[in-house]
Amino acid sequence: MRSNRITLKDIAKECGCSANTVSRALRGDRRISEAVRALVKETADRMGYIPNTMASSLRSGRSRMIAVIVNDLHNQHYCDLINRMDRELRKDNYTLMILCMQLEDDLAEKLIHTAVSLAVDGILYFPSVGQRHYVEYMAASRMPFVLLDRRVSDLEADTVRCDDEQGGYLAGQHLAQLGHRKILFLSGVDLSSSQIDRLNGFMRAVREYRIPEENVEVIPGAKVEEALLQNSLSELIFPGEYTAIVCFRDEVAYPVMNALRGKNVSIPEDVSVISFDDLYAENPSRPPVTSIYSADQNIAALGVKMLLERIEDPTIAPRNTILPVKIFDHGTTGPARESGSS
Task: Note the pLDDT tens digit of each residue in 227-248.
Answer: 998 989 999 999 888 999 999 9
The pLDDT tens digits for 174-199 are 999 999 999 999 999 888 899 999 99
> How many whole angstroms separate alpha carbon 188 and alpha carbon 124?
22
The pLDDT tens digits for 243-280 are 999 999 999 999 999 999 999 999 999 999 999 999 99
For residue 140, give the amino acid letter.
A
**What pLDDT does 52 receive?**
65
**What pLDDT does 3 receive?**
52
Using alpha carbons only, what angle is made at residue 192 by residues 187 and 194, rounded to the nearest 5 degrees?
A: 75
Query: Exposed e or buried b for every residue in 153-177, given b needs 16+ CB within 10 A?
Result: eebebbbbbbbbbbbbbbbbbbbbe
Confidence of residue 54 (pLDDT cuts 50, 70, 90): low
pLDDT beyond 60 at 135: yes
Cα-Cα end-to-end distance for the chain? 69
Q: What is the mean pLDDT of residues 71-78?
A: 84
Range name among 49-53, 219-223, 255-259 with the lowest pLDDT average: 49-53
Single out the residue of 72, 75, 70 nearest to residue 276, CA to CA. Answer: 75
3-state secondary structure of 21: helix
Single out the residue of 21, 65, 62, 66 nearest to residue 39, CA to CA. Answer: 21
**What pLDDT does 53 receive?**
60
Confidence of residue 62 (pLDDT cuts 50, 70, 90): low
Single out the residue of 247, 250, 245 nearest to residue 287, CA to CA. Answer: 250
Domains (range + CATH), the chain: 8-51 (1.10.260.40), 63-161+296-322 (3.40.50.2300), 164-295 (3.40.50.2300)
> How many whole angstroms separate alpha carbon 81 and alpha carbon 301?
9
| pTM confidence score | 0.81
**What pLDDT does 30 receive?**
87
Confidence of residue 61 (pLDDT cuts 50, 70, 90): low
